[in-house]
Structures are given as C-alpha cells and as structure tokens.
Amino acid sequence: MTRLTVLGFRAGRPDAVSPCSGYLLEHDGTTVLVDCGPGIVGQLTARGLEHRIDAVVLTHLHQDHMFDVVPLAFTRLLTPTPPPRIPLYVPEDSVATLARLDDWVAVPTDPAVGRPLSTAFDVRPLVRDGATVVRLGDGVTLTGFRAKHAVPSASLRFALGDRTVAFSSDTGWCDGVLGAARDADVFVCEATYLTADPAMLADHGHLTAELTGSLARTAGVDRLVVSHLLGYDDEKSFAAAAESAAPVPVTAASAGLVVPVG
C-alpha cells in the first residue's frame, strides 16, 4: 500500500477548515510525516499515529510548517513507555536553529522533557543538492533540492518503491523544485496566491496557482495537488487556475484527502 494523506494544507495559520502544512506518506509499513505545522499533532493522535511515525521531514522552519514539532515531542515523551527516537530532517543550514528551540520549550524540573526535541528526535541535516539519497525505510528514499524561499527551504523527492511523490515546499519558480518534481507520479505544490505581483512573488519565494500548473506541466508530473492555500478564496478556484495551465489531473488539497499512489 502506497498513499499520501493530507493532514493539513493551510498557509500561515490554521483555521476551522484545516491545520497548517502536514502530510503522511505510507509505503509498505513505513510512515513518514512531511511538515508538522500548527494543528497536525491533533490529526496524528486522531489516527493513532503519534507513536507510529518512522521519520519526520521539515521542508523549512517557518512556523506554519513546523511549530507542532514541540507538542509532537511532548506527546512522544510524556507516555509510560516512550517510543524510540526517530530521525527528523531539516535543511542543512537550519539544524542549529531548530536545536535552539530546546532552550526555551524545556521543562528543567521534569527529566522526561528536559531537552524534549533532542530526546524525541535525532535531528539530521537534509542536504539540498538534488543528488544525496537518504534511506528512510524499506523501499523509501528521500532526495532534497534547493527551493527558493525567504529562509532555507527544501523541495523533496520521495521514491516509494517504483513510485515518486514530490513536495515543492514554499518556493518560487526555480531549478530545484523542477528537479524534485521531474516526472513525479504525484506532486504536492504550493499555490499560495491566485494573483500576485511578480516582485512580491520573487521577494518571498511563492507561486500563484497558475504558475503551479505551469511548473507541473514543465516537470511532466502525472498528478498535481495544489496546497498551502491561504483561505481568502475558494479552494476550487486554485485548482481551476492551476488546471488551466496544466494538462494533468489537479486536486485542491483538503484536510483528510487520501491520494493512492500507484
């Protein structure tokens, strides 16, 4: 069984419709959590998965993609039999930044959560060279690519058996995200705006839904999921704008969406 589950897709802040970014990839007994934005831990616990993740991958350290790693650490540690530490990958330039979180979320009087992040997770650098292959489980590998964003950001390419699932992370149009998405079976791509000033897109490193569709077409993907939506407009209008530029099936992300892969 190989599948993608959207746990949350909201950009910037969670709302009544969805948590922020978080996705599950499952392949033959391996479960990987991609991003862990606000609201994601509730989605994991609702599915009984908080102790069953094999690895976490954070695309970048903006809060809407990672703030729930703190409650995830506490959830894994404050239990009678804490599960083993699991790998947590962040872009190579962000390891020290993430480590500093332990300085202020720690509870020094409780040894279980004295250094919660480094106790719950084995934090590892994700090299964004588009070549280094990381093994996450049986038949599951990850390659990081350099995305174009305001902070170090990684587009992700997962091999799941003979299938490929790619994630853009937050990014503008760049070679890195194109490399990650090349010929992917499923491409989860940000579509932060319906319309935007090109200078603003370049400054922040984001895409419009139409650019997302063009990117998917250029990369030759089989299926596009538009995500990282702000909620100012109907989700369907993002899918329609992307579809106008992409000759592939386009789905707007929704909380709980399951996409079979292959």
144 vs 205, beta carbon nearer Zn ion: 205
Which of these, 237, 221, 220, lies nearest to 229 by C-alpha position? 237
50 vs 170, beta carbon nearer Zn ion: 170
Q: Is 45 helix (H, G, I), strand (E, B) or coil?
A: helix
Give the nearest distance from C-beta 225 to Zn ion in angstroms.
15
Give the nearest distance from C-beta 151 to Zn ion in angstroms.
10
**Residues 64, 68, 185, 243: which binds Zn ion (CB under 5 A)?**
64
Count of positions on this chain that bind Zn ion (CB under 5 A):
2
- Stretch of 62-70, 97-105, 118-126, 214-222 lying at the interface with Zn ion (CB under 5 A): 62-70
38 vs 213, beta carbon nearer Zn ion: 38
Q: Does 102 contact Zn ion by CB under 5 A?
A: no
Which of these, 40, 60, 58, lies nearest to 50 by C-alpha position? 40
Give the nearest distance from C-beta 37 to Zn ion in angstroms.
8
Subset of 188-227 contacting Zn ion (CB under 5 A): none
Q: Does 35 contact Zn ion by CB under 5 A?
A: no
116 vs 176, beta carbon nearer Zn ion: 176
Query: Do 89 and 142 contact (CB within 8 A), yes or no?
Result: yes
Q: Give the integer Cα–Cα distance in Å for 67 and 65.
A: 7
Give the nearest distance from C-beta 111 to Zn ion in angstroms.
34
Using CB positions, name the residue nearest to Zn ion: 64
Beta strands in the chain (DSSP E): 2-8, 22-27, 30-34, 55-57, 86-91, 121-126, 129-137, 140-146, 154-160, 163-167, 186-190, 224-227, 250-252, 258-260
Q: Give the integer Cα–Cα distance in Å for 240 and 62.
A: 27
170 vs 243, beta carbon nearer Zn ion: 170
Give the nearest distance from C-beta 10 to Zn ion in angstroms.
9
Which of these, 177, 171, 190, lies nearest to 230 by C-alpha position? 190
- Give 120's DSSP letter: H
Beta strands across the sheet bearing 55-57: 121-126, 86-91, 55-57, 30-34, 22-27, 2-8, 258-260
Give the nearest distance from C-beta 174 to Zn ion in angstroms.
16
Q: Does 170 contact Zn ion by CB under 5 A?
A: yes
User: Under the rule (CB under 5 A), what is the footprint of Zn ion?
Assistant: 64, 170
